Amino acid sequence: MFVDSHVNLHGEQFADDLEAVVDRARKAGVETQLTICCELANFEAVLAVAKRYHDIYASVGTHPHEARTNPDITAQDLLDKAEHPKVIGIGETGLDFHYNYSDRGVQYHNFLAHIEAARASQLPLIIHSRNADKEMAELLESEMAKGAFPALLHCYTGGAELAQRAADMGLYFSLSGILTFKNAHALRAIAKTLPEDRIMIETDCPYLAPVPHRGRRNEPAFVTHVADGLAALKDWSVEETAKRSSEAFYRLFSKAKRPETRQNNA
């Protein structure tokens, strides 16, 4: 059974067929999903998806692209919403210096508020990092020194140095459909070096559909193809890949109930 550690199900891309999407995921062997909040204004919509399905959880946070919409965000804003039993992570948050949709100063303020919330709650910090390897490594090392917090670098596409420094700090990593892309040689080389007990898989749907679905709307059922790619890379069976990646998820996101301990209702 698989866990899709990062989905985006509340938006218009799934408005017409969410029930069918969830059903296809279950039939594909996806036992748990984590749907992500990328803007506080959308939190109630994200939470509504998690409340609707017994096997879907939610996070609370603001993506660095949207940091400009919450320039004065505080850790308490996040902590208040994280009290809900279905909220198991803080984020998606981080630094994105590729698009710079939000000013760097606002991104830093936003990220630091999320770190404070993760440290206070000990809920995992879900990190987005793009074109910010040096800054991300330095900030995480500085903040970890002030007090440890659990964290995940989601959809990892950074370089080898950030991967090593993050691994040394105990961070987890998740890999997406990019792992299956023909020209993703550098990512596959780095993925081989990641700590084997701290690797998860994700779709980041509706984005980044894996081969053989590239170019289509991505959905949670396709996480099995990410598992296939990771299995081939690590020389694991698909069953072992599912077990290892799922165990990593439940270890990090310890607020999530395992399937055998939760009621089979919404």
Q: Which residue in 227, 229, 208, 225 sits closest to 13, CA to CA?
A: 208
Q: Which residue in 255, 222, 213 sits closest to 25, CA to CA?
A: 222
Query: d(Cα 5, Cα 200) in Å, to the nearest integer?
Result: 7
Query: d(Cα 250, Cα 229) in Å, to the nearest integer?
Result: 21
Q: Does residue 211 form part of some domain?
A: yes
Ranges of the chain with pLDDT below 70: 263-266
Q: Does residue 52 form part of some domain?
A: yes
58 touches 88 (CB < 8 A): yes
Q: What is the pTM of this model?
A: 0.97
Query: d(Cα 235, Cα 134) in Å, to the nearest integer?
Result: 31
Structure tokens at 185: 């040689």
pLDDT tens-digit series, residues 179-205: 999 999 999 999 999 999 999 999 999
* SS3 at position 254: coil
| Element holding 37 (H helix, E strand) | none
Q: Please, what is the Cα angle at 128 between 62 and 151, to 5 degrees?
A: 95
Residue length, the chain? 266
- According to DSSP, the residues that pair with 107 across neighbouring strands are none
Place of tokens 């792992």: 179
223 touches 246 (CB < 8 A): no
Total domain count for the chain?
Answer: 1
- For residue 264, the model assigns a pLDDT of 57
Q: Does residue 265 form part of some domain?
A: no
CATH of the domain at 131: 3.20.20.140
Structure tokens at 103: 């000013």
Q: Does residue 266 form part of some domain?
A: no
Q: Does residue 158 form part of some domain?
A: yes
Q: Does residue 239 form part of some domain?
A: yes
- Cis peptide bond prior to 206, omega within 30° of 0: yes
Q: What separation, in Å, do the N-terminal and C-terminal C-alpha atoms of the chain show?
A: 19
Rounded to the nearest 10 degrees, the angle between the axes of helix 75-82 and helix 104-121 is: 40
**Domain region containing 32:** 2-260
Q: Does residue 24 form part of some domain?
A: yes
- For residue 266, the model assigns a pLDDT of 47
